[in-house]
Structures are given as C-alpha cells and as structure tokens.
Amino acid sequence: GEEVAQTPKHLVRGEGQKAKLYCAPIKGHSYVFWYQQVLKNEFKFLISFQNENVFDETGMPKERFSAKCLPNSPCSLEIQATKLEDSAVYFCASSPNRVNTEAFFGQGTRLTVV
Amino acid sequence: AQRVTQPEKLLSVFKGAPVELKCNYSYSGSPELFWYVQYSRQRLQLLLRHISRESIKGFTADLNKGETSFHLKKPFAQEEDSAMYYCALGGGSQGNLIFGKGTKLSVKP
C-alpha cells in the first residue's frame, strides 16, 4: 500500500490482559520501526526490523513485549500482561533504507490499559 | 548520549508574524536532522531534512554544527501552520530516530 496502516486505532485492555497491535508497512520498504509515545511526550524507540529480521531491539522492555515481522503478514507488537504504564500511542514507521531517508508513519494505535 | 531538545512546549504567534521553533541536539557523530509535523488528526509526516536543504511550505532549517542546533523558521506564519512540530535526530547505524518532545505551534488570526 501507499501508506503505513496500523490496526486497531484504539485498544482498551484490562490490566494483565494481552494486547496485540498490527502494522502493514509500505510495499517495498525494508525497514519497520516501532515507537511508543506516552502522554504526548517524545517518541521512545522500541524495535526495528530489516524485512523479517530484528535489526535493533535495544528499546524493547525485556519482559512482556515482543514483536514480529513475518513474510506476507502485517508486523505485530504484542504486550503480554499489560500494565497501566503501557498506556500510550504506539506508532509504526517504515522506510526503504536505514539511514538518511524519510520514515513514513502510521496513524498510531492508542492503547489504554484500565 | 544522543538527545534532542525542543525548549518550547507551546509557541503562539499571530498570522503574518515570523516564527522560529528551536531545536538543539547532542550527538557525537555526523548527525542527520529532520523536522516532522503532525497536523490535527493526521499522521506524523516529514517536513524537512537538513541534507536536502529545501524549503517546504515556506519553512527552512539550517544545521549549525557549532551551536548543535537545527531551528525551524518561517518568515510569515499562516493559520494552517498550526500543528505539532517534532525535531528528530538520525544518523546512527541503527537507523531509528530520536525525537524531541515537540512544540505546539498555534497561529492566531
């Protein structure tokens, strides 16, 4: 597609429940990035993929968070046993290259943990 | 440590006035600087990148390595410029962007 598509737009989960977010990058883009934005503050980098391979996961919380980008499927970000502090907008971005290039963002998924 | 600082949370100007959104960065290597904009109810989109040295929608930004700044400027603000503006730093081998906290620009009629 021509735009990065994120689903769902909004997600409400009770504490302890699982949350799964999806991102379809722009066709032909090799890189996918996930960012977390809490309370409209700065974007925190979580993880990046080069095609289906994890490229950099230095921002991912060690526990509870996992992500995948499988061939012919949307990428996904999963949070096991959600906590209140996971409430945030999660943005996905894709780009054709890794450096010196424009990153195209999705509209984000707003996760609310109650 | 790599860091981007946008000192103003909110900047309010009148239509036709000049506007400058400040951005300072901390980076030991060769930085790539970007300005992203998010209009109301729209996705984040690229406005400018320093390497292309272009002017988009009347906005310009010059990378000043001595002052480690990449301020965004426009001589005459328009109401449609009202939006959230994020300065972002790239250039690392990882490819991800480091964002500032953003500045909300409000242009009053």
pLDDT higher than threshold 80 for residue B27: yes
Decide if A109 is inside a domain. no
Are A98 and B95 within 8 A, CB to CB?
yes
For all residues of chain B together, what is the average pLDDT?
Answer: 92
Q: Can you state the percent helix, strand and coil of chain B, rounding each to 5?
A: 5, 45, 50
Instruction: Domain of residue B70: give its range.
Output: 3-108
Is B85 an 8 Å CB contact of chain A? Answer: no
- Tell me if residue B71 falls in helix, strand or coil: coil
Q: Which of A58, A97, A107 comes nearest B43 by C-beta?
A: A107
Q: Which of A56, A100, A105 comes nearest B51 by C-beta?
A: A100
Instruction: Domain of residue A30: give its range.
Output: 5-102
Say what the pLDDT of residue A19 is. 98
Are B95 and A102 within 8 A, CB to CB?
no
What is the domain-level CATH number for residue A16?
2.60.40.10
- Total structural domains in chain B? 1
- Asked, as a colleague might, if the bond just before A8 is cis with ω within 30 of 0, I would say yes
What is the domain-level CATH number for residue B102?
2.60.40.10
Decide if A95 is inside a domain. yes
Contact A32, A90 (CB under 8 A): no
pLDDT tens sequence across A23-47: 999 999 999 999 999 887 778 999 9
Are B97 and A42 within 8 A, CB to CB?
no
* Cβ contacts from A onto B, under 8 A: 60
Averaged pLDDT for residues B86-97: 82
How far, in Å, CA of A49 to CA of A33, rounded? 7
How far, in Å, CA of B10 to CA of B107, rounded? 11
Sheet holding B60-61, edge to edge: B19-21, B72-74, B60-61
- Total structural domains in chain A? 1
Are B94 and A56 within 8 A, CB to CB?
yes
**At B42, which amino acid appears?**
Q
Say what the pLDDT of residue A100 is. 58
Are B43 and A105 within 8 A, CB to CB?
yes
pLDDT higher than threshold 70 for residue A99: no
Decide if A79 is inside a domain. yes
Contact A13, A78 (CB under 8 A): no
Chain A residue set in contact with B, beta carbons under 8 Å: 3-4, 31, 33, 35, 40-43, 45, 48, 55-56, 58-59, 91, 95, 97-100, 102-108
Phi-psi region of A51 (alpha: psi -120 to 50; beta: other; left: phi over 0): left
**Closest approach of chain B CAs to the CA of A66, in angstroms?**
18
Averaged pLDDT for residues A66-89: 95
